[in-house]
Amino acid sequence: MTLGKLVQLARRTNPLQGRVYRLASSVRLPWIIGLVLFLLLALAAALFIGRTGDEVQVPQAILDNQESVTQSAAQSVRRGVNEGVDDLAAFSSILSPINPDQTGSLAKPLEGAAGVHGRYLSLYVIDDGGKVLHAAGKGRPTPEPLKLVEPFEMAGMRDAAQVEGSPVPIILQYAPLPERDGRARAIVGEYDPSFFRFPLAVADPGEVWLVTSDGRVIGSGGGFTAFQELPRRPLREAAARAARGESGTTVVPGSLGRQEIVAFAPVSGIGPAGTLGWNVVTARSVDSVSLPETNARRQGLIVAIVLALTTVVVFGWLWIFVLRPLFRLQSEAERIAYGDLSKNVEVIRYDEIGLVARALERIRVLLVRQRIQGDKPTRNRPPAEKES
């Protein structure tokens, strides 16, 4: 390509032939460079201010507090589950005088109890063979879990069971009823696993799971799949230690964004819930703890967000209110310069750019008048005489 061709491409050509800009002389260049630089500065602030690749030393007081919170969650689960057994035992004394052979005799009290006790999905009265005599509540009995209710001598509960086709673990509590005609009976409550959210909420903020003795999840502060494994290896190791009766905390190593505090405690103590071997495991990111390193990290993120928002607002305002009207005005000036006077120059502003647009419109009008006057034919004008 010759030098003359390069010079020609570097200049503005006829708009009808497409525009070729010399970027170095365009106002677009500083706008683009400034926008990119400030956005890169915001990104650098987010990535590097307060960032440390080393592990943060978590104070022992923080670890002790997380262990205490986990133990409180475990005891809250134990007390809540035991209260359910006590409620069934108390309710059995109300049902004892009622003859189950009378049609509908147990239906009304069962429906009333199911509505009052929100911790139960369903309430059943069964005989010693697992046959359902009466049922009430949202769920319906299945033969397999009801066979777990043996013996009937005293109130108690069974460990969580997994039943095919059930999306939740089956947790049954029961209390005996007096025998009638030589038949043993019991009232059975199907515990609602979503009710565990309330005692486990003690461990907020962070993640919390209620697991069986073999580490399978039966409750959580958030969503979970029944009898799934804990999602990370440190959590599974903590659950195994809790199953051995231990309680404590560990810090999972890594950078600031990856470190987490894992605590574990068994659900132990008096009552039926204390004999099931259940455990509570909690996890909290070190980044969420108020430490000098984490505070610096949060300040870096705040600086980055403020800088990014300011950049977008300022450069967006420049584009909408300065550059885009300027480019439109440039297009109008080029159109008039190349002789297209067919359209008016639109004046929508009254600042400096608007004044320039009004001046262009006056120029266009004058050019139109001159064109009309120049094309107007002369009449009754005698022809010029030839010089002799």
Q: Computed from CA positions of residues 333, 337, 338, 343, in that sequence, does the dihedral angle turn out positive or negative?
A: positive
User: In terms of domains, do 96 and 204 share one?
Assistant: no
Q: At which of 239, 258, 291 does a domain end?
A: 291
Q: At which of 254, 273, 291 does a domain end?
A: 291
In a domain, 111, yes or no: yes
Q: What is the pLDDT along the chain (388 residues), one digit of tens a residue?
A: 454 443 344 344 454 444 545 555 678 888 999 999 999 998 888 777 766 556 677 788 888 999 999 999 999 999 999 998 888 888 877 776 666 555 456 666 777 666 666 788 888 888 777 778 777 777 655 656 666 666 667 888 888 888 776 778 888 888 888 776 667 778 888 888 888 988 898 888 889 999 999 999 999 988 788 889 999 999 999 999 999 999 999 988 866 667 888 999 999 999 999 999 999 999 988 777 766 666 777 778 888 899 999 999 999 999 998 898 888 888 888 888 888 888 888 888 888 888 888 999 899 889 888 888 876 554 544 555 444 3
Q: In what order do the strands lie in the sheet with 248-252?
A: 217-220, 207-211, 279-285, 260-266, 248-252
Cβ-based neighbours of 191, under 8 Å, separated by 6 or more:
81, 84, 119, 120, 121, 157, 171, 172, 173
- Tokens, residue 344: 């008016």
Q: Output the pLDDT for position 29.
A: 85
In a domain, 385, yes or no: no
Q: Output the pLDDT for position 190.
A: 87
User: In terms of domains, do 69 and 217 share one?
Assistant: yes
Distance CA 130, CA 242 (A): 34
Q: Output the pLDDT for position 123.
A: 83
Cβ-based neighbours of 58, under 8 Å, separated by 6 or more:
251, 259, 261, 286, 289, 291
Distance CA 190, CA 51 (A): 50
User: In terms of domains, do 287 and 263 share one?
Assistant: yes
- Residue 170 is classified by DSSP as B
- The residue type found at 376 is K
CB 246 within 8 Å of CB 66: no
User: In terms of domains, do 69 and 207 share one?
Assistant: yes
User: In terms of domains, do 126 and 96 share one?
Assistant: yes
Distance CA 236, CA 230 (A): 6
Model-level pTM? 0.67
Q: Output the pLDDT for position 309.
A: 95
- Quote the number of domains for the chain: 2
User: In terms of domains, do 150 and 222 share one?
Assistant: no
Q: Output the pLDDT for position 11.
A: 41
Cβ-based neighbours of 7, under 8 Å, separated by 6 or more:
none
What proportions of the chain, in percent to the nearest 5, are helix, strand and coil? 45, 15, 35
Q: Is the peptide bond before 30 cis (omega within 30 degrees of 0)?
A: no
Closest CA to 86 of 169, 158, 154, 179: 154
Q: Output the pLDDT for position 289.
A: 74
Tell me which residue range forms the domain holding 265: 65-73+196-291
In a domain, 142, yes or no: yes
The helix or strand, by DSSP H or E, that contains position 374, with its residue range, turns out to be helix 352-375
